[in-house]
């Protein structure tokens, strides 16, 4: 928590007015294994973490996107985030809709799929569409946030290689991950901002590990990467959101105008 506070303050001092932390940043990535002890990490919203960052948002004069392992009032657990305005008030929240279940990404054991839908949340700096990690592969999610008015899609993330993958098709996986999100930017005429973990985390048995590949990046509405982190160390990256570029891009590529919603009914079957 203190480490995150230091980095938020640093970003704010450099002029950042919208700041996002990585997925489940308050702890190790505990989903590498199934263990009931990790439910003790969950907390309500509002709760300790949101209160901590609400105070910080006021002193930093910035909007904060803060992931939280949420325990709801009904005892259901979600992979969530809150958007905190610079006055410290919670502007909105999101619960991860798409929950993966892969080797060492055993999230279905811990999280119930979200029930708040895909939405744009109003902030003093425009509307943002927050989603989380696995959501970033689904074009429908990006489209719904953009149609709701989001100017930037934001994805707190924890993704990387399992042992042996980096020596194989590592570049293909990483390139696919970047490409699909650049595609969301192009298809919707918006910015995308993806905030990933970086470095190696062993599971608690010590028998395996994930190397989170970093490469957090920001893409503009034409799919150009305007800022990108390395894959080796923790960094803060910065990018400027230009509303004029969004409007100009949508004039050149009027995808929203030419949509055929009358022909898309099978997509929900």
Whether 133 is catalytic is: yes
The three-class DSSP label of residue 168 is coil
Tell me what percent of the residues of the chain surpass a pLDDT of 70: 100
165-178 average pLDDT score: 85
How large is the average pLDDT for residues 181-200? 97
Q: Whose CA is closest to 24, among 64, 68, 65, 54?
A: 68
**Token pair in block for residue 115:** 């029930």
Residues facing residue 93 across a β-bridge: 82
Distance of alpha carbon 179 from alpha carbon 223, whole angstroms: 9
Per the annotation, the verdict on 166 as an active-site residue is no
Q: How far is CA 148 from the centre of its chain?
A: 17
117-118-124 Cα angle (round to 5): 125
The position carrying tokens 């930093």 is 60
pLDDT at 113 over 80: yes
Active-site pick, 96, 145, 178, 211:
96
For position 166, what pLDDT does the model report?
A: 76
User: 14, 8 in Cβ contact below 8 A?
Assistant: no
Per-residue confidence band for 261, with pLDDT thresholds at 50, 70 and 90: very high
Res. 163 pLDDT band, cuts 50 70 90: confident
In b/e form, how buried is each residue of 73-92, taking b as 16+ CB within 10 angstroms?
A: eeeebbbbbbbbbbebebbb
pLDDT value at residue 165: 78
Per DSSP, the three-state class of 39 is helix
**From 20, 23, 31, 145, the catalytic residue:** 23
**pLDDT, position 170:** 74
Within 10 angstroms of residue 176's Cβ, the number of other Cβ atoms is 12
Measured distance CA(218)–CA(6) in Å, rounded: 22
Q: Is 108 a catalytic residue?
A: no
How many CB atoms within 10 Å of residue 180? 15
Query: Tokens 């991860």 appear where?
Result: 96
Q: What mean pLDDT is predicted for residues 170-176?
A: 89
Mean of all residue pLDDT scores within the chain: 95
Domains of the chain by range and CATH?
A: 2-268 (3.60.110.10)
Q: Is the pLDDT of residue 13 over 80?
A: yes
pLDDT in tens, 206-217: 778 999 999 999
pLDDT at 153: 98
- What's the whole-number mean pLDDT along residues 175-202? 97
Alpha carbon distance 195, 92 (integer Å): 19
Distance of CA 255 to the CA centre of its chain: 24
Report how far apart, in Å, the C-alpha atoms of 199 and of each of 79, 179, 214 are: 21, 22, 7
Active-site entry in 20, 31, 133, 145: 133
The model's pLDDT over 31-59, given as tens digits with 9 standing for 90+, comes to 999 999 999 999 999 999 999 999 999 99
């Amino acid at each position: 928590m203190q480490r995150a506070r230091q980095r938020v303050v640093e970003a704010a001092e450099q002029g950042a007015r919208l700041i996002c932390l990585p997925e489940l940043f308050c702890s190790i990535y505990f989903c590498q294994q199934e263990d009931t002890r990790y439910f003790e990490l969950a907390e309500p919203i509002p709760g300790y973490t949101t209160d901590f960052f609400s105070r910080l948002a006021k002193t930093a004069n910035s909007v904060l996107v803060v992931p939280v392992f949420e325990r709801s009032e009904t005892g259901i657990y979600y992979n969530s985030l809150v958007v905190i305005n610079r006055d410290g008030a919670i502007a909105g929240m999101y619960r991860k809709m798409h929950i993966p279940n892969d080797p060492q990404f055993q999230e279905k054991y811990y999280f119930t799929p979200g029930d708040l839908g895909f939405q744009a949340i109003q902030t003093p700096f425009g509307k943002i569409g927050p989603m989380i990690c696995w959501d970033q592969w689904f074009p429908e999610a990006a489209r719904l946030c953009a149609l709701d008015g989001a100017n930037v899609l934001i994805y707190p993330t924890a993704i990387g290689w399992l042992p042996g993958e980096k020596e194989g098709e590592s570049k293909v996986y990483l390139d696919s991950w970047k490409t699909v999100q650049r595609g969301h930017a192009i298809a919707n005429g918006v910015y995308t901002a993806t905030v990933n973990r970086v470095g190696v985390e062993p599971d608690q048995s010590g028998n395996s590990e994930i190397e989170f590949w970093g490469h957090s990046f920001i893409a503009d509405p034409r799919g150009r990467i305007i800022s990108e982190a390395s894959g080796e160390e923790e960094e803060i990256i910065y990018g400027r959101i230009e509303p004029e570029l969004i409007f100009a891009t949508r004039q050149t590529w009027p995808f929203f105008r030419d949509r055929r919603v009358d022909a898309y009914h099978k997509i929900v079957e």
